[in-house]
Chain A
């Protein structure tokens, strides 16, 4: 088991002193090497799930397990990536990729070797001495993925990593990410609001309800070519799956 949520509830206290239940009684498992997407309406606590997996904060009730260890704080098993690339602008690309290794006692020469290998895998060989501002948005996200993979995490958490990109770049980057992830065999949790993206990239999709978020449906995507979303994209079944999620999100009722 790579990741497990056992009846996890998370409450926040707002600025006005009210209690806000972000997610309520969440249960799910992600198996080793599986690619699972979490979709749901905005504000349903998708990012809360990610932060609890990364150990940035603890559930109010329930437990989160990563590789059979209970998560009690930031840990070496998890690498996460956000919509913002979060590259350090004052570092060149290769030292940005090394950033995650620095606090882990990896020797300098090994850090450089691992960073260069990840850059190559993410199709950024030759750009190691560039600074972030010199790269396009898609390349910067690939650099962020290289940094995430460099720490050799057991789970990769992706929080809407493609949502700030234009439509074409998005398709190409989804393809590139899917290929890289399939190649490394990493367990991946993708948080997204893009239904098509979830269908194209995942083995399984968890649909969350509005706040307080709970898992309302679990959809197994039974399609080939997970490693190549561009090929999955042309399959007729894709729209059926998207329609199915659409229904679970009860979006028709909201459309006026």
Chain B
């Protein structure tokens, strides 16, 4: 054990330098892109309403903050992203586990699940607006729908591939059906569930954005269509950046949770 504990300390140093190198290269690339964005369009005589420069965007950001209620729009979008993600993944997981326990219903429902999974969920947005009006309901529903499937499919797949010998062992130890689910099946599916949630988190932002683009007067998606209507490219750029930030934050939180939950998996060696 002593040897095992000492070895990582030795390899750590080169690993840390490597990590610093990637960080420096990453940031350098960002700086390069920002510089090009700032100076290339004016140099090539591209008008500001087509490609605004970085400073134009920052100035517009300040104006939006002061005059358009940017904070409110951003918070609203963030709220519905998280809400839609939470409801959608909860439903997806619950139904995934239920179907995973019943082979009969899984077989009965699988063609419909596949059909719904293939159908472009964002195309439902206008329908939801016709049904529920110009309020928060349509965008929430689109988000829930879009988040639902990757979680459902991942959980179902994992439930199908739970080690039969583990289940038999649990049976031999007299565990009840519920006990087997709780102590063997559910923990076995955790890696897949977490992968499904990660995919779902990136889709949640798309769902909310589409819902806001199609109808309503709040959120970053609304600012995109509003800015587009006014030929205000800087506003559109800013909204896209903020949407990306929201998605990125949600994803990062999930990765952190995943590291905690799946701590028992050996770390992949690069």
| Stretch from A8-16, A35-43, A79-87, A186-194 forming part of the interface with B | A79-87
Pick from A75, A90, A103: contact of B264, CB under 8 Å: A90
A: interface residue count bin: 20 to 34
Identity of the chain B residue whose Cβ is nearest the Cβ of A144 in the assembled complex:
B169
Task: Evaluate contact between A131 and B264: CB separation under 8 angstroms.
Answer: yes
B: interface residue count bin: 10 to 19
Pick from A56, A76, A82, A86: contact of B174, CB under 8 Å: A76
Task: Evaluate contact between A55 and B172: CB separation under 8 angstroms.
Answer: yes
A224-254: contact bitstring with B at CB < 8 Å (1 yes, 0 no)? 0000000000000000000000000000000
Is A102 located at the chain interface by the 8 A CB criterion? yes
Task: Evaluate contact between B265 and A100: CB separation under 8 angstroms.
Answer: no
Please give, as numbers and ranges, the residues of chain A lying within 8 Å of B266 by CB-CB distance.
133
| Stretch from B102-110, B128-136, B182-190, B215-223 forming part of the interface with A | B182-190
Please give, as numbers and ranges, the residues of chain A lying within 8 Å of B112 by CB-CB distance.
none
Assuming A89-B264, A133-B264, is B183 touching A74 (CB within 8 A)? no
Please give, as numbers and ranges, the residues of chain A lying within 8 Å of B175 by CB-CB distance.
102-103
Is A108 located at the chain interface by the 8 A CB criterion? no
Task: Evaluate contact between B173 and A99: CB separation under 8 angstroms.
Answer: yes
Please give, as numbers and ranges, the residues of chain B lying within 8 Å of A84 by CB-CB distance.
165
Task: Evaluate contact between A100 and B190: CB separation under 8 angstroms.
Answer: no
Identity of the chain B residue whose Cβ is nearest the Cβ of A159 in the assembled complex:
B165
CA distance A17 to B187 in the complex (A): 35
Pick from B168, B172, B179, B187: contact of A78, CB under 8 Å: B172
Identity of the chain B residue whose Cβ is nearest the Cβ of A78 in the assembled complex:
B172
Please give, as numbers and ranges, the residues of chain B lying within 8 Å of A1 by CB-CB distance.
none
Task: Evaluate contact between B172 and A54: CB separation under 8 angstroms.
Answer: yes
B158-200: contact bitstring with A at CB < 8 Å (1 yes, 0 no)? 0000010110110111111001000110010010000000000
Please give, as numbers and ranges, the residues of chain A lying within 8 Å of B190 by CB-CB distance.
90
Assuming A89-B265, A133-B265, is B184 touching A151 (CB within 8 A)? no
Task: Evaluate contact between A56 and B264: CB separation under 8 angstroms.
Answer: no
CA distance A14 to B172 in the complex (A): 24
CA distance A132 to B187 in the complex (A): 15
Assuming A84-B165, A86-B165, A133-B266, is B171 touching A74 (CB within 8 A)? yes
Please give, as numbers and ranges, the residues of chain A lying within 8 Å of B183 by CB-CB distance.
88, 99, 102
Task: Evaluate contact between A103 and B165: CB separation under 8 angstroms.
Answer: no
A94-107: contact bitstring with B at CB < 8 Å (1 yes, 0 no)? 00000110111000
Task: Evaluate contact between B166 and A103: CB separation under 8 angstroms.
Answer: no
Identity of the chain A residue whose Cβ is nearest the Cβ of B171 in the assembled complex:
A74
CA distance A55 to B265 in the complex (A): 32
Task: Evaluate contact between A103 and B174: CB separation under 8 angstroms.
Answer: yes
Please give, as numbers and ranges, the residues of chain B lying within 8 Å of A132 by CB-CB distance.
264
Task: Evaluate contact between A56 and B166: CB separation under 8 angstroms.
Answer: no
Q: Is the interface of A mostly helix, strand, loop or mixed?
A: loop
Task: Evaluate contact between A56 and B265: CB separation under 8 angstroms.
Answer: no
Please give, as numbers and ranges, the residues of chain A lying within 8 Å of B165 by CB-CB distance.
82, 84, 86
Please give, as numbers and ranges, the residues of chain B lying within 8 Å of A55 by CB-CB distance.
172
Pick from A86, A131, A133: contact of B169, CB under 8 Å: A86
Please give, as numbers and ranges, the residues of chain B lying within 8 Å of A102 by CB-CB distance.
173, 175, 179, 183
Please give, as numbers and ranges, the residues of chain A lying within 8 Å of B169 by CB-CB distance.
80, 86
Pick from B163, B166, B174: contact of A104, CB under 8 Å: B174
Residues of A38-82 contacting chain B, CB below 8 A:
54-56, 74-76, 78-80, 82
Please give, as numbers and ranges, the residues of chain B lying within 8 Å of A79 by CB-CB distance.
172
Please give, as numbers and ranges, the residues of chain B lying within 8 Å of A76 by CB-CB distance.
174
CB distance from B171 to the nearest CB of A (A): 5
Assuming A89-B265, A90-B264, is B173 touching A56 (CB within 8 A)? no
Please give, as numbers and ranges, the residues of chain A lying within 8 Å of B176 by CB-CB distance.
103
Task: Evaluate contact between B166 and A88: CB separation under 8 angstroms.
Answer: yes
Pick from B166, B174, B264, B265: contact of A74, CB under 8 Å: B174
Pick from B173, B184, B187: contact of A100, CB under 8 Å: B173
Please give, as numbers and ranges, the residues of chain A lying within 8 Å of B163 by CB-CB distance.
86
Assuming A82-B165, A133-B264, A133-B266, is B187 touching A88 (CB within 8 A)? yes
Identity of the chain A residue whose Cβ is nearest the Cβ of B184 in the assembled complex:
A88
Can you spell out 24 A-B residue pairs with CB atoms less than 8 angstroms apart?
Answer: A54-B172, A56-B168, A56-B171, A74-B173, A74-B174, A76-B174, A80-B169, A82-B165, A84-B165, A86-B163, A86-B165, A88-B166, A88-B183, A89-B264, A89-B265, A90-B187, A90-B190, A90-B264, A91-B264, A99-B173, A102-B183, A103-B175, A131-B264, A133-B264
Q: Which residues of B contact A (CB under 8 A)?
A: 163, 165-166, 168-169, 171-176, 179, 183-184, 187, 190, 264-266
Q: Give the top 5 A-B pairs by smallest Cβ distance, nearest first.
A: A133-B266, A100-B173, A103-B175, A103-B174, A90-B264
Q: With contacts A75-B174, A80-B169, A102-B183 known, what are 8 further pairs, Cβ within 8 A?
A: A74-B173, A80-B172, A86-B163, A88-B183, A89-B265, A90-B187, A133-B265, A133-B266
